[in-house]
Structure 1
Amino acid sequence: MASPSPSPSPSRGVMERHLRARATPLLTDLYQFTMAYAYWRAARHREAAVFELFFRDNPFHGGFTVFAGLHDCLVFLRSFRFTDEDVEFLRSVLPPSTDPAFFHFLRDLDCSAVKLHSVPDGTVVFARVPLMEVTGPLAVVQLLETSLLCLVNYASLVCTNAARFRLAAGPGRKLLEMGLRRAQGPDGGLTASRYTYIGGFDLTSNVRAGFLFGIPVTGTMAHSYITSFSSLEEVQPHTLVPRNGDGEPVDLIGPAKGWLSRVSELLGAEPGDIREGELAAFLSYAIAYPTNFLPVIDSYSVSRSGLLNFCAVALALCDLGYKPLGIRLDSGDLCRQSVDVRRAFRLCSERFSVAAFDSLVIVASNDIDEQSLAELNEKENEIDSLGIGTHLVTCSKQPSLGCVYKLVEVKGSPRMKICEDPEKSTVPGSKAVYRLMDAEGHPFLDLVCLAAESPPEAGVSRTCYPLSRKDSVVTVTPAQVACLHQEVFINGQITSPLSSAAESRAKVRTSLQTLSPGHKRLDKPDSYTVALSERLHDLVSEVQKGGSADRGL
């Protein structure tokens, strides 16, 4: 892993062009257009409607979720327009009986009449809480459904996964996302790199993500580089100028061979096991990148070859004033190997009086998942950084968050989905969401209220109805109250500054810090309470009885 390179901040135009190319009005399901057409034919397309976006269960059997994707949704809404090419394609896929005037309607459509209230990017959220409320003409807010779900579902899922890995790893270790080669296509790879960084990872191997989003990038070498060498004759060039620039170039092969003999004696190694090709690869790479020397050392044998060759080349670099970075382990018992490697570093530092060896880093990778990370933490190890790919970006424990987008109001009248499965019923009406906190600032309950009712107040008792406990009633008195929803889009314009990846990352860290330890526990966490206000609970009961919405004949 090379020394991490802080990526220059990309221009806003470059990033937004990328986002607009990813999400256009055609990034949706065909049935959205058939419904929009039916609304239009019935002259209902301009009726005021309210949809809300939420999920029903926290992912990974966890106690929390990190909301992400708002940035992309806002860029999508601002640029929502159908091109002539879009409209002509829709003509070809909708039935020939479709009225041609509908396509003129689509060509002029935008989101200037849409209003969006949302939880901020990077906020810790919980199941059944409305994350977004989308208000506007019925046809256009219907057309937004699939696109908004696409932009929020995976972003929130992979961001939550990254936050869980960060909690499992602890605050001290560096975390490198290296999942591009295992991601679900280039878009999945870029989305993963952006939102794993927001969720708590420090670095990415994804160069394009660094270019687009300003994420620090880093990298090392593959085993193929090591195995491509077979002898020291292949080291070209084999000289290196001292770091201070004084003196003639030094042939690095001789000093490295000398150090290899001394290191082998110090560590009690058998010289016959050392791979000359591996030494050649290390020398070649060190000469190319003398200030970023961090090779993978398990192409053959860590203890009998890789570690010895690394120490020899690293000591030769130190002689010339350079400071090597460390090594990467990619197979075998990572914990045991890291302990052995650290012991060798300390012995070299003490025997050869080389202080640089005291700060060499040990990076580990090897199909690491949340469980193996937890097991790693239970064992003695000396690992400083972790490279994680497959299980991070594919979210192998759970492939989807399951966000849904449901109609809750039309023309000021509440709407509710009522079905045989109570878990799939919705909560009617336009809403506001408040987070109630205790005296220590820990959230303990999210209260979902009707938008028109008075908000809860600090120090004032409030009766509410937990969604997780049917027919139960609780009375709570918050020490602090925060409104979760913010108006972020109105009249075709974004009303608050778009958050950068770094700003959203800081929001995640702050939001997680407020949670009590029980809610952050990765295994069997405490359940967080989401509740309805008394007025909203009464409205649900009324609608269920048929008082405010159709239930069928």
Structure 2
Amino acid sequence: MTVTADDYSLLTDLYQLTMAACYTGEGIEQKRASFELFARRLPEGFGYLIAMGLTQALEYLEKFRFSTAQIAALQATGIFANVSDRFWSLLAQGGFTGDVWAVPEGTAVFANQPLLRIEAPLWQAQLVETYLLNTLNYQTLIATKAARLRDVVGEQTTLLEFGARRAFSPQGALWASRAALAGGLDATSNVLAALQLGEKPSGTMAHALVMALSAMAGSEEQAFTAFHEYFPGASLLIDTYDTIAAAQRLSQKVNSGEMKLTGVRLDSGDLVTLSQEVRSLLPGVSIFASGDLDEWEIARLKAAGAQIDGYGLGTRLVTGAPVNGVYKLVEIDGIPVMKQSSGKATYPGRKQIFRSFVGGKVKADRLGLVTENPLDEKPLLQLVVKEGERMQPPDTLDTIRQRTAAAVASLPAETRRLDHPVSVQVDISTCLQQLVDDTIRQGAGGRGAGKQGSRGAGGE
């Protein structure tokens, strides 16, 4: 069960294909449709999100097509026995020909703000939903957690991503590594991810090596010596048996000049007390900590006076409360549409995020229609794909990392805090509110009524 770029078009939910087949049968598959991807609410305890995953989303759209074998496999299921032959011709044509508007990766966003908008023929815009949500939801979660971690520890503390063994899949592990680095972490232990990203992988050692070599060589000290023979100066994991005893023996070797030691890692126990004692024994050696850590636990360790220079982040970084992003139709054939379900209502029409700043800090955001002009504000959504063609090359990882850092630094303190954060105020523009009112009043029924609502709101 592996996936390659050739499989991307089939990596979708069945109902995307059945809806596209229905659109084709009804003769509306080529109508221009606009879908927006956004989170209705932020994960609990989050004051913002860091948008991430656009690079992989655009790579997917570039490769979007159905092969003859894939079409035959769909036909063999029997599910599509009653659909029009035009549906199969449509899939055989392949290719994404629409436009994509998106906020740059590393941008801070809030609830109900589009990270991305697809404007394309209805069948195309519908079929790409599943992959886009999978990509942007997961990477946005990891990048946001990474940005929060960096914000807690400051610029000088080392943060490493150790999550490959806990990520939900091998593909997820690669995306988690990328998003973590883009969100502000220094390095990853995932060798494939690091090499694909042009980065240098980083890591220490595991308890297995200490136990194996100790059993064969006779002592933990000899295990450390053996490892340093091949990796001089490498950080050593010192809590396999007795952390303080190990630190005392290493201190003697360092002080006598027998060993050059750059760092030690603690993976269990009372990290506050242990780090303080190890610091007194090894004052010139960096202390690294790991073991189910997250931003809240690291903040607690810092407040308690832990002497820790770097952290390894795994399980709680690459798993946890999801970013529950959704992908909703906002306009079809020039007609603004909205979902009115209780608790799940959406805003109609194609939208833009207008952000205002005071003294370099985000003051407020205004969610408006694309036809509105900025009022001493910065529009965040940018045209990144036009008629299926990219408008510019993808940003480098360093560029995204710098953008993330700048975005977090621009947020108010109450938005960045871990306890009871308050998101930046997001106002709904007068034009958008008028369009909402018109759409509700006119209902989802008449095409003509919908177009009148669009004109009334300043739309096309």
- Code of the residue aligned with 2:187 in structure 1: it is L
In structure 2, the partner of 1:278 is 220
CA shift for structure 1 position 315: 4.9
1 CA distance for matches of 2:276 and 2:369? 58
Aligned residues: 446
Scaled by the length of structure 1, what TM-score is found?
0.77
2 CA distance for matches of 1:394 and 1:403? 16
Residue from 36, 44, 47 that aligns with 1:52: 36
Residue 343 (1) aligns with residue 280 (2): yes
Residue 295 (1) aligns with residue 295 (2): no
Would the aligned equivalents of 1:81 and 1:107 in 2 still touch at CA under 8 Å?
yes
Would the aligned equivalents of 1:23 and 1:76 in 2 still touch at CA under 8 Å?
no
Would the aligned equivalents of 2:190 and 2:201 in 1 still touch at CA under 8 Å?
yes
2 CA distance for matches of 1:532 and 1:36? 32
1:321-368 residue CA offsets vs partner (Å, 9 max, x unmatched): x7421211111111111111111124xxxxxxxxxxx3x211111221
Scaled by the length of structure 2, what TM-score is found?
0.92
1 CA distance for matches of 2:40 and 2:446? 24
CA shift for structure 1 position 494: 0.9
Would the aligned equivalents of 2:6 and 2:63 in 1 still touch at CA under 8 Å?
no
Identity rate, percent:
36
Task: Within 5 Å, give how 1:351-366 maps onto structure 2.
Answer: 358=284, 360-366=285-291
Residue from 140, 143, 151 that aligns with 1:167: 151
Would the aligned equivalents of 2:195 and 2:201 in 1 still touch at CA under 8 Å?
no
RMSD, aligned α-carbons: 2.1
Residue 537 (1) aligns with residue 455 (2): no
CA shift for structure 1 position 544: 0.8
In structure 1, the partner of 2:331 is 409
In structure 2, the partner of 1:462 is none
Task: Within 5 Å, give how 1:518-537 maps onto structure 2.
Answer: 518-537=414-433
CA shift for structure 1 position 286: 1.5
In structure 2, the partner of 1:12 is none
Task: Within 5 Å, give how 1:87-486 maps onto structure 2.
Answer: 87-93=71-77, 94-112=79-97, 114-230=98-214, 276-290=218-232, 292-304=233-245, 306-315=246-255, 318-319=257-258, 323-346=260-283, 358=284, 360-395=285-320, 398=321, 400-419=322-341, 421=342, 423-438=343-358, 440-453=359-372, 455-458=373-376, 481-486=377-382
Would the aligned equivalents of 1:58 and 1:64 in 2 still touch at CA under 8 Å?
yes
2 CA distance for matches of 1:394 and 1:428? 33
SS, match of residue 25 in structure 1: helix
- Code of the residue aligned with 1:362 in structure 2: it is I
In structure 2, the partner of 1:245 is none
Residue from 12, 33, 39 that aligns with 2:17: 33
1 CA distance for matches of 2:360 and 2:229? 53
2 CA distance for matches of 1:338 and 1:23? 49
2 CA distance for matches of 1:452 and 1:100? 39
2 CA distance for matches of 1:33 and 1:436? 41
Residue from 503, 514, 518 that aligns with 2:399: 503
1:90-113 residue CA offsets vs partner (Å, 9 max, x unmatched): 11233323334421220112112x
1:261-310 residue CA offsets vs partner (Å, 9 max, x unmatched): xxxxxxxxxxxxxxx510110111111222x3321111111122x11332
CA shift for structure 1 position 39: 0.7
Q: 1:230 to 1:126 in 2, by over 3 A?
A: closer
Structure 1 runs not aligned, ≥5 long: 1-17, 236-275, 347-357, 459-480
